[in-house]
Amino acid sequence: MDLHDGITVEIENSQDVIEITNSTEDIITACVHRTLDMEGFDFNAMVSITLVDNTTIEQMNSQFRGITMATDVLSFPMLEIQGGCDYLDEEELINDIHPDTGSVILGDIVISMEKVRDQALEYGHSFERELGFLVVHGMLHLLGYDHIEDGDMKVMRPKEEAILESLNLTRS
Q: What is the CATH number of the domain that holds 20?
A: 3.40.390.30
Containing domain of residue 114, as a range?
Answer: 2-166
Q: How confident is the model at residue 161 (pLDDT cuts 50, 70, 90)?
A: very high
Q: Is the pTM of this model over 0.85?
A: yes
Q: How confident is the model at residue 58 (pLDDT cuts 50, 70, 90)?
A: very high
User: Does residue 152 lie within any of the structural domains?
Assistant: yes
User: Does residue 171 lie within any of the structural domains?
Assistant: no
Q: What is the pLDDT of residue 99?
A: 76
The four Cα atoms 31, 75, 9, 58 give a dihedral, to 10 degrees, of -100
User: Does residue 62 lie within any of the structural domains?
Assistant: yes
Q: What is the pLDDT of residue 5?
A: 73
Q: Does 14 score more than 70 pLDDT?
A: yes
For residue range 107-157, list pLDDT tens digits in order: 999 999 999 999 999 999 999 999 999 999 999 999 988 866 666 678 889
Total domains present in the chain: 1
User: Percentage helix, strand, coil, to 5, in the chain?
Assistant: 50, 20, 35
User: Does residue 126 lie within any of the structural domains?
Assistant: yes
HSE-CB for 85 with a 13 A CA cutoff = 15
CB 93 within 8 A of CB 104: yes
Q: Does 61 score more than 60 pLDDT?
A: yes
User: Does residue 172 lie within any of the structural domains?
Assistant: no
User: Does residue 67 lie within any of the structural domains?
Assistant: yes
Instruction: Share the mean pLDDT of the chain.
Output: 88
Q: What is the pLDDT of residue 1?
A: 45
With left for phi above 0 and alpha for psi between -120 and 50, is residue 88 left, alpha or beta? beta
User: Does residue 132 lie within any of the structural domains?
Assistant: yes
